[in-house]
Structure 1
Amino acid sequence: MSVSNLLLNKHNPDVLTCIANLSNDEVFTPPEMAAAMLDLAAEAWARDHNGENLWANPNARVLDPFVKTGVFLREATHRFNDGLASLIPDPQERVNHILTKQIFGIAITELTALMARRSVYCSKYANSEHSICTAFDTPEGNIWFERTEHTWDDKTGTRESHVDPLSGEEIFIRTGRRCSYCGAGEEDYGRGEDLETHAYTFIHTDDIKKRVNEIFGASMHFDLIVGNPPYQLGSAGGTRDIPIYQKFVAQAKELDPQLLTMVIPSRWMATGLGLNEFRQDMLSDRKLSVLVDYQNAAEVFPGVGLNGGACYFLRDATHDGDCEVTTIRGGIASSPTMRRLDEFDILVRDAEALPILRKVLADNPMSINSILARDKEFGWTSNFRDFSVHPQEGLIPIHYIEKMQRKVGYISRAQVTKSVELIDKWKVLVPAVGSGREREKAGVDLVLGPSQIAAAPSVCTQSFLFFYSDTEAEAVSIRSYYSTKFFRFLVSLRKITQHATHSTYSWVPMQSWDREWTDAELYAKYRLSDEEVSYIESLIRPMELD
C-alpha cells in the first residue's frame, strides 16, 4: 500500500477506539475527541492569522508531550498531509517533511512510545522498512521516551533507626520520602529497575525549555501543544490520590505555544487536593478562550471511573478576554456562553445557574456555614470505635456509620476533648459523602444524603458533618431547609464529586429558624422567575423526610 493510501485509509472501527485504558490515571483519548480538539485549534489559528489554514503551513510544529496511543499526532499528520498536498506534491517527500519537521511527541512509558510510533509511523521503529517515513535514522524518530527516575526529597518522610547487620552499629534511614517534582511516594514508586517509574519526563525538570531542546536536539518552538496528560498518582494505601495533571498544564504554558489544548478532569473547577492555586490560575487566565465541559466523564471515557466529569480547553496566546464555555450533559450541549471565569472563587459549571446565584448572593448574606461543624469536629475519624455499643448510665450517644449503616454508640463526656461546647447542642447530622452523581445518569440528583436529628447531648465521628442549634424546634427548621430543592441546588453548584465538605455549603444563606421551610417560600423570597424555578425543579429530586 502506498504512503498516501496508508494515511488516507480509514478502517471501521478505528483501532484506537478498541484499546482498553491502561488505568484510570492514564486514560486514552477517543479519536473523536482528539479530532474535535485539533479542529478547535485550527479554527483559532485561522482567526489569529487572517484565515490561514494551520494544516497548510509547512513550518507549524505540533507537540504532544504526554503521548499514549499517538492519536493526536496521527490525526495532526492526516491534516498536514491534506493541507500540504499542493505545496509538496510528492507523497513521500510530504510525509517525510511532516514527520521529521512538524510532528513531535514525548511518550509517558516505553509501551506507549511503541504504540504511538505504530500509530504515527505505521511501525514501532521509525527507521524500519515498514515505516512510512524514510528520513529517520533512529528507531524513535520524533516520538521520544527515556526512563526517568524520581528525585526523592530527604526533607520529607520519616527518619528511622536501624542496626547495621554487619557492623552492629546504629544507622538512620529516611523512609517514606516523596519526589520533589511530582509528590510520588517512594514506597509506592521506588519499585526497582524492572518496573515503570511513572516519573514523567515533562514534569521532572526545572527548565522545560532546555529539556525539550535536549530531547529533540535543536532549539524548539511549538505552535500547538495538544494532549491528554496522566491525571494522578496513587498514594500509600490508595486513600488519597495525588493530582498531577495541573503540573503538565503549567509546564506546557512554560513552552509558550501559541495554542495549547488539553483534556483534563473537571474537578479542578471546584475541588481537588492541592489544586487551589491551579484553579485560581485557570480562572484568572484571560488567554483561556474555549472550555468544553462534560459533566459525566463516561460520555467521553466509557468504563473509566472519573468522578466529577472531564473537560478540554483551548488557550490562545493572542486571546485576552472572556472564555466561551459549553456544558455537555446527557449528550446535549448547551449553547456556548461567553463567561468571565473568575466571577466566583470556583467555576459555576452551568451558565443557567448564574442568575439564580447572583440573586441569592446579592445582599452578601451570612452563610449557613456559620452553624456547620468542621470535618472531624470532635477529633475522631470515621474509623473511630473506642466506645460502647450498649447504652450505659452517664454515657452520651455517638453517631457513626459502619458498613454503610448509620448506628449509635455510647461514650463518656471525658473522652470528648475537642469542641466540648457542642456536646449539648441539638444537631442535624448530614453525611460527609453525598448521594453520588445521579444527575449525570438520570438528569436529576439528590445532591446530598438524608439528614437526621440528633438530640442533645450527642457527638459523632467524621462520617458526619452537622448543623447545630439550641433547641429541637430550630433543628427541625434547619432540617426542613436542608431537604428543599433550593438548598440542595445551591450546594450542587460547589459539589462536583461525592464528598460534601464544609466549603460546599458556602453559598447557602442563613434563614430564621422559626418555621419549616418550603421551596415555594424560598423561591418567592429570592424573587426567582418561573424559568429559574423550572430549572431548579428539573435538576433536583425531592427529598423525603422520615
Structure 2
Amino acid sequence: MKESRDILSLFEALNSHEIFTPPRVARQMLDLLPQEIWSDPSIKILDPSAKSGVFLRESFYRLFTYLDGKGIYKTDSGEIYDLNNKQQRINHILKNMLFGIATSELTAYVSRRTLYGVMRANSDKQLSAIEAFEQSSNFHQWTEQEKYNFIGRNKFNEYFDHNLFCTPDYEGFEEEGNIFYPNDEVKKLVMEEDDYEIEDKYFPFIEENTKHKKILEIRGGVMRFDVVISNPPYQKSDGGDADGRTRGGAVPVYNKFVETAKSLNPKHLVMIIPSRWYSGGRGLDEFRKSMLTDKRIKEIHDFPVSTDCFPGVSVKGGVCYFYRGDAEFSECKITTYEDGIASVMTRPLLEDGADVFIRFNPSVSIYRKVTEKSELSFASLVSSQKPFGLRTFEQGEPSSLPGRISLYTNKGINYYQRSKITSNEQCIDKHKVLITMAYGAGEAFPHQIINKPIYAPPGSACTETYLMIGPFESKNISENVISYMKTKFFRFLVLLRKSTQHAARGVYTFVPVQDFNIHWTDEKLYEKYGLNQEEIQFIEKMIRVME
C-alpha cells in the first residue's frame, strides 16, 4: 500500500504531547525485529500506547503473510486453529497475538477501527455501516439506489468476526476486544474532579491507580509478551510550580513508558521517543543512566531534526527509536539521519569520561581527542542558576544613585541596590562574562548554540536570566574568554550536551579551559587538538559564525 493513499499517513499530532506514527516509520521500526517472529504463531505483541493502531495493523499484515502454510496450531488454552485457513488464521492473530492499550477513549476507537474495522469489537460490520449512513445530514434525501450504493461501499473489513471476543474469558470486555481502555474509570474521574483535561494525562499503562482487569494482568505479568512496540506520549502538564505560579511547563512521561515496558521483560522492545534524554530533560538523570548502561540496547536510530521522521511535527531536540533485544551487546549500532543521509557507527553508548550520550557519530573522534588531554572543564568557571540570587522578574531601577550597581536583566541594563545582593557579593567588583541561561535556535543546522557572551565590568551583577563566568583578573582576560566562547570549536562541544534551549552550567562540561592570556581562534584550537580535515568540516557544517 502506498503511504500517500494510506489514511493513517494523514494523521500528525493528536495534541501537544501525542504524535501519530507515520506508517512508513512504523514499518521501519518493525523491520528491527528478527524476521523469524512473523512465522511464529505463539508470539504476542503489545502496543501499550495505541493511538492510530498502526503498529498493530502493520504487524497483522506480516503475521497474516508469514503464518500462511503453518498448519494446525494449538494455543496454551487449548484452542485449535488451522493456520492454512484464511479466516482461522485471521482469528488467531487478532485474538491471541495482537494487543493494545489506548491512550484515550478516542484513540481506542481509532485503533479498533484500524485493526478490526469497527470502533467496538463486538459490533456487526454491516449494522455499523448502516448506523454511520443514517447519521448523514442528508440521509432522507437519498434515493434507494444511493442508499444501497453507500452501504455496499462501506462493508468495512469483511475478515473480522464480530463474535470473536464474545467468549467467557472476555466477559465485560467484548466491546474492547484486545485494545483496552478504562473508559468508565476515566469518565468517573472527570466527573468527580470536574476536570475534562484528565483524559489528556491519564495513560493507563503507567497509571498506578487503574483498576482495569486486563491492563492489570498485562502490567502484572499474567499476560506475557514477546514484543512491545510503541510511540508513547511524550509529556504532560506539570500544573505550575510550588509557589502556585502556572508556567505552562511539562514533565516527561515517555521514560515511564519505557521503564514499565522493560519491567514486562519482553524479548524485543522497540520505542520511538524524544532524544532529549541523551543529555538533558527534566527529571531524566536516572532514566539516562539506565539507558546508557543497558547492554541489551542493540540499535538507536536518531533524527536530530524531528521533521525528518514526523513530517510537519516539530519536537525540540529531535526524536529517536531504539531496539532492545534479549541478549547483551558490547556496542550499539547508531544510525543518525541528516538531510536524507544516514551516518552509521557501532560504538559504546557511553564514552569514557562521559555521563551523556554523544549524539553525532563524527563527534566521537573529536570528543576523544579533546578529552585525552585531561584538561580542567570550563564548567568550573560557570556559576549555578541565579548567580547573584536575583530572579528574572527583578528589573532594578532606571537611574543610577549612590549605593547602586549596574544590573543586567532580560530588559537591558538597570541599577540595583548593592546591599540587597545576597549571593556572590565578592564578584560584584570583578571582571566577568555573562551568558544567557537559555537560547533557542530552531532545529536546522548550522546552529549558533548559545547566545552572545557579554562582558560585565566591575560594579555589576545580573538576574537569573544570565549565568556568570569568572570572575577574572582583567578586562583583557574576559575578552579572551569571550573570543574563545565565540569559536565554533567551543560551541560544538556545548552542542554535545545541549539538547534543548536551556543552557545551564552542565552544558559546558565537555569544553576544556584554555590559557586566557591568549586570544583563541578556531584555527589555533583545531591545531592544538589535532583535528583532521573531516572533523573540521563537520564542526563547520554544524556551527554557524558568531559575530
8 Å CA contact 1:426–1:455 kept in 2: the answer is yes
Secondary structure, aligned partner of 1:202: coil
User: Which residue number corresponds to residue 536 of structure 1?
Assistant: 539
- The residue correspondences of 1:492-531 to structure 2 (distance < 5 A) are 492-531=495-534
Relative to 1, partners in 2 of residues 1:327 and 1:534: Cα closer, same or farther, differing over 3 Å? same
Post-superposition Cα deviations, 1:385-441, rounded to whole Å, max 9, x if no partner, equal 2x2112223311000113xxxx1000111110111111112121112112414xx42
Q: Do the aligned residues in 1 keep the contact of 2:101 with 2:215 (CA within 8 Å)?
A: no
80, 85, 90: which one aligns with 1:90: 85
The 3 A distance-change label for structure 1 pair 467 and 247 is same
Is the alpha carbon distance of 1:358 and 1:95 closer, same or farther for their aligned partners in structure 2, counting shifts above 3 Å?
Answer: same
C-alpha offsets along residues 476-513 of structure 1, whole Å, 9 cap, x if unaligned? 11111111111111111111111111000011111112
Indicate if the aligned counterparts of 1:148 and 1:197 stay in contact, CA closer than 8 A: no
Per mean C-alpha deviation after superposition, the further-off stretch among 259-268 and 195-204 is 195-204
| Equivalent residue letter for 1:122 | G
Paired with 2:392 and 2:251, the residues of 1 have a C-alpha distance of: 21
| Structure 1 match to 2:80 | none
- Residue 356 in 1 paired to residue 358 in 2? no
Contact 1:374 1:465 in 2 (8 A): yes
Matched, 1:251 2:260: yes
Q: Are the structure 2 counterparts of residues 216 and 80 from structure 1 closer, same or farther at C-alpha, using a change threshold of 3 Å? A: farther
Identity of aligned residues (%): 37
- What pairs with 1:32-181 in structure 2 (closer than 5 Å)? 32-41=24-33, 45-46=34-35, 53-87=36-70, 88-130=83-125, 132-134=159-161, 135-137=164-166, 138-147=174-183
The code of the aligned residue for 1:234 comes to S
Partner of residue 327, structure 1: 336
Cross-structure match for 2:431: 426
Q: Do the aligned residues in 2 keep the contact of 1:377 with 1:419 (CA within 8 Å)?
A: yes
What's the CA shift for 1:449? 1.2
Which residue is 2:295 aligned to? 286
> Under a length normalisation based on structure 1, what TM-score does the superposition of the two structures give?
0.84
Deviations along 1:92-115, one digit per CA (max 9) or x if unpaired, are 111111100100011111110000
The answer on 1:410 being equivalent to 2:415 is: yes
Q: CA deviation digits over 1:234-279, x for unaligned, max 9?
A: 1222443111111111111111110000000000000011100000
Deviation at 1:331, TM superposition (A): 2.2
State the distance in 1 between where 2:274 and 2:362 align.
Answer: 22
- How far did residue 125 of structure 1 move? 1.5
8 A Cα contact 1:365 1:509, kept in partner: yes
Match of 1:234 in 2: 237
Q: Does 1:383 align with 2:393?
A: yes
Task: Classify 1:128/1:149 alpha carbon distance in 2 versus 1 (closer, same or farther; 3 Å).
Answer: closer
Structure 1 residues 393 and 68: CA distance shift in structure 2, 3 A: same
Q: Identify the residue that residue 357 of structure 2 maps to in structure 1.
A: 347
CA distance in 1, matches of 2:499, 2:366: 18
Per-residue deviation, 1:354 = 1.3
TM-aligned CA deviation for residue 304 of structure 1:
2.8
- Could you tell me which of 180, 203, 207 is aligned with 1:200? 203
Per-residue Cα deviation, 1:56-104 (whole angstroms, up to 9, x for no partner): 1111110001111100001001111111122223221111111001000
**What SS does structure 1 have at the residue aligned with 2:362?**
helix
CA distance in 1, matches of 2:371, 2:219: 53
* Contact residue 62 and residue 225 of structure 1 kept, 8 A: yes
Which secondary structure state, in structure 1, belongs to the residue aligned with residue 99 of structure 2?
A: strand
Question: Which range moved further: 257-266 or 329-338?
Answer: 329-338
Structure 2 runs not aligned, ≥5 long = 71-82, 126-156, 167-173, 240-245
- C-alpha distance in 2 between matches for 1:218 and 1:264: 24
Question: Number of paired residues?
Answer: 483
Give the distance between the partners of 2:363 and 2:349, measured in 1 at CA.
Answer: 14
- 2:446 and 2:541 in contact (8 A); partners too: yes
Could you tell me how far 1:453 is from its partner in structure 2? 0.9
Deviation of 1:133 (Å): 2.3
CA 1:479 to 1:423, structure 2 compared with 1: closer, same or farther past 3 Å?
same
Summarize deviations over 1:167-208 as a string: whole Å, max 9, x none. xxxxxxxxxxxxxxxxxxx99x95447952622221123999
Cα separation, 1, equivalents of 2:67 and 2:258: 30
Alpha-carbon distance in 1 for matches of 2:370, 2:338: 25
CA distance in 1, matches of 2:286, 2:221: 33
The one-letter code of the counterpart of 1:113 is A
Cα RMSD after superposing both structures:
2.5
Cα contact 1:291–1:324 (8 A) shared by 2: yes
The amino acid across from 1:366 in the alignment is L
> How far does residue 325 in structure 1 lie from its aligned partner after superposition?
0.6
- Match of 1:261, SS state, is strand
Match of 1:14 in 2: 6
C-alpha distance 471-248 of structure 1, shift in aligned 2 (>3 A): same
What is the DSSP-based 3-state SS (H/G/I as helix, E as strand, rest coil) of the residue aligned with 1:292?
Answer: strand
